[in-house]
A and B are shown apart, each in its own frame.
Chain A
Amino acid sequence: MSSLLKIDDMSVRFATPRGDLKAVNNVSIELLKGESLGVVGESGSGKTVLSRATMGLLPSTATRTGTITYQGQDITALPKDEVRELWGTGMAMIFQDPMTALNPVRRVGSQLTESLTVRLGMNKKDAKEKAIELLKRVRIPDPEAMLRKFPYQLSGGMRQRIMIAIAVSCEPELLFADEPTTALDVTVQAQVLDLITELRKESNMAMILVTHDLGVVAGHTDKIAVMYAGDVVEYAPTRELFSNMKMPYTEALLKSIPRLETPTGSRLPVIEGRLPDPTKNEPGCPFANRCPYVTDKCRAEKPPLTDGGNNHFYRCWFPLGGVK
């Protein structure tokens, strides 16, 4: 399979009154056609910024460096208008909160057909037919009635399905899903993820799934990038990551997932401590203050991204299971 997206040494900075905030540091990631990547981390780790920066949806206070090659073309060098041409038809995004990401004053139908008529040049009738078909694909009952509804008349799960329908309407090559299930009830989370994976398989779409929940990515991605304080700290194929975990941080993330078998009332393990201040440049491993295995070396020197074989990269002086 050929390469679809190649992010090379990308950094993102936000200008704030207290100085530059480093949201993403020198990240390099590659994605093949039809492949799916999970980006996992706590809130504030830079995972959402990574996905938005890749697409080019950053506010004007942000600066992005590095190159992003999409289908052999460096899109960081393109003028904004040409990048926009890729949005919707090449790359599309499913947003985190379906309650706020649909325009409250416009009907579902007009929001769904907008890309079809504006981007694909369909006429109204065709667009409507296509919209109904899309709604059927995301398993919405009575799609014709749905077109006339306003978002406020719908449940969160329904809205998320609509948003998915909008995102896949122009059959993009690459789908960004930013915490697509976080805002939903636990009962519909699995359904929505299965739906996304199914749609993806049908049309060989690649996906970048951003989430804080390591459990979510397990069944739905080919590889995983774990982010911490703007760095990719572990990057490996999904199976390899779970069988041969290297980073103490990834381990801590895994432990923080609530499980059905956990007895009710028992304390959920959380990662103690806070993320380092992203506007400061402190030496050492950013996770050192929270790491159970911390040594003096960790506090003094920041570990580089190390190749552990089997396409497994990590950023730690003392990885779990030892150095090969």
Chain B
Amino acid sequence: MRLIFKRFVAMCTVVIIATFLLSLLMRLLPGDPAAVLVPNAPDQVRDVIRQETGLSKGIFGYYWQWLSGMLTGDFGKYYLNGGYRTVASVLQRCLPPSLYLIMYSQIVALVIAIPLGLTSAYKEGSRFDRITSSVLFTTVSVPAFALGLILSLIFAVQLGWVDPIGYESPFGHPWQHFKLMILPVISLSVGLTSSYTRLLRTDVIATLKEDYVTMAASKGISNRRVLWKHVFRPSSTTLLTSAALNMGGLIGGTIIVETIFVIPGIGYEIAYSIGARQIIAMQTLIALVSFAYVFFNTAVDLLTNLTDPRTRERRG
């Protein structure tokens, strides 16, 4: 319990400092922030916006107003051609596509990486292992945007198998949803798969040398059972930790993939708000992303601490 509390406090501190620095950064913008938000609006409108966002106050006042807004569900606004849209309503629309994209990519990566990593570790040094290792080494280095562009060129533009851009909800048009998701998911999951496989391979090779694995084999149970029940279980913690740690990188990756494939997700919105200089929306979105990232790290850290007997052993 004390551990949970300690980690929670540490997490909140990190998030608060990060978001405060973010606010500071926004205030460092040269020129009048209100003029940046609504370049062509008259002064009265700018005054209203200054009041609304807290830009009229000092940096602490501004941060406090933003933070209390965040905590009460007021995520700020996009200011568009005289009107506005709340960030909350945009989030409602852009969160699902990103979540699907991230979820599919993680699932695809894990589903491929687990058998691949286990097999190449089990057959360490074999031809299969050497080929997998070198292929994975190459693919882990290929940037997602290059892969995305080339995939879209081949499969969407030249072969015409899928549409190059767009997004459909899985409930309205499930088939179209999957067709549109295939290329973005591949672009994101190739790098992930490689890094997971490599990680799992290293870990499993180390685990295979453990006495308890020989012990399990000496019971006369099948190799498959030894591999899954005795080797994979201890190694899976490392894999899950890394999967959670990759969430941050994935959110970064979604920005680029969502832009290339024009998927209206959170990454796309971040890129849009930066391009349109909607600094309030930008601050909110980036803050949410870092919060999610820190939250995942903390949660996984806690979970492994609580569930893996080995870390308990180290502590006690």
Contact = CB atoms under 8 A, between A and B. Distances in A.
Assess A/B contact in the complex (Cβ within 8 A).
yes
Interface size class of B (residues with CB under 8 A): 20 to 34
B220 A57 contact: no
B218 A92 contact: yes
Nearest to B313: A152
Contact of A87 (B218, B237, B313): B218
Interface stretch (A37-45, A96-104, A302-310): A96-104
A323 interface: no
Contacts of B221: 84, 88, 114-115, 118-119
Contacts of A85: 220
Interface in A265-297: none
Interface in A82-114: 84-89, 92-93, 95-97, 100-106, 114
A315 B154 CA distance: 75
B213 to A, nearest CB: 8
Given A87-B219, A152-B310, A152-B313, A105 B234 contact: yes
Interface in A20-63: 55, 57
Contacts of B309: 104-105, 150-152
B220 A102 contact: no
Given A100-B211, A104-B212, A86 B220 contact: yes
A12 interface: no
Contacts of B210: 100
A224 interface: no
A168 to B, nearest CB: 12
Nearest to B312: A152
Contacts of A57: 214, 217-218
A210 interface: no
A278 B234 CA distance: 35
Interface centre among B212, B219, B310, B312 (most CB of A within 10 A): B219
A138 B230 CA distance: 24
A166 interface: yes
Q: Is the interface of B mostly helix, strand, loop or mixed?
A: helix
Interface centre among B220, B229, B234, B312 (most CB of A within 10 A): B220
A302 to B, nearest CB: 33
A29 to B, nearest CB: 20
Interface in A104-137: 104-106, 114-115, 118-119
Contact of A89 (B212, B214, B216, B220): B220
B215 A102 contact: yes
A66 to B, nearest CB: 21
A214 B316 CA distance: 37
Contacts of A105: 233-234, 237, 308-310
Interface string B89-103: 000000000000000
A114 B228 CA distance: 13
A106 B307 CA distance: 11
A103 B219 CA distance: 13
A178 B155 CA distance: 60
B225 interface: yes
B219 A106 contact: no
B212 A103 contact: yes
B219 A88 contact: yes
B192 to A, nearest CB: 25
B220 A87 contact: yes
Nearest to A84: B220
Given A101-B215, A103-B234, 9 more contacts: A55-B218, A86-B220, A88-B219, A95-B214, A103-B215, A105-B233, A105-B234, A105-B309, A105-B310
Interface of B: 210-212, 214-222, 225, 229-230, 233-234, 237, 308-310, 312-313, 316
Interface of A: 55, 57, 84-89, 92-93, 95-97, 100-106, 114-115, 118-119, 150-152, 163, 166, 170
26 contacts: A57-B217, A84-B221, A84-B222, A88-B218, A88-B219, A88-B220, A93-B218, A95-B211, A97-B211, A101-B212, A101-B214, A102-B215, A103-B212, A103-B215, A103-B216, A104-B212, A104-B310, A104-B313, A106-B229, A114-B216, A119-B219, A152-B309, A152-B310, A152-B312, A152-B313, A166-B219
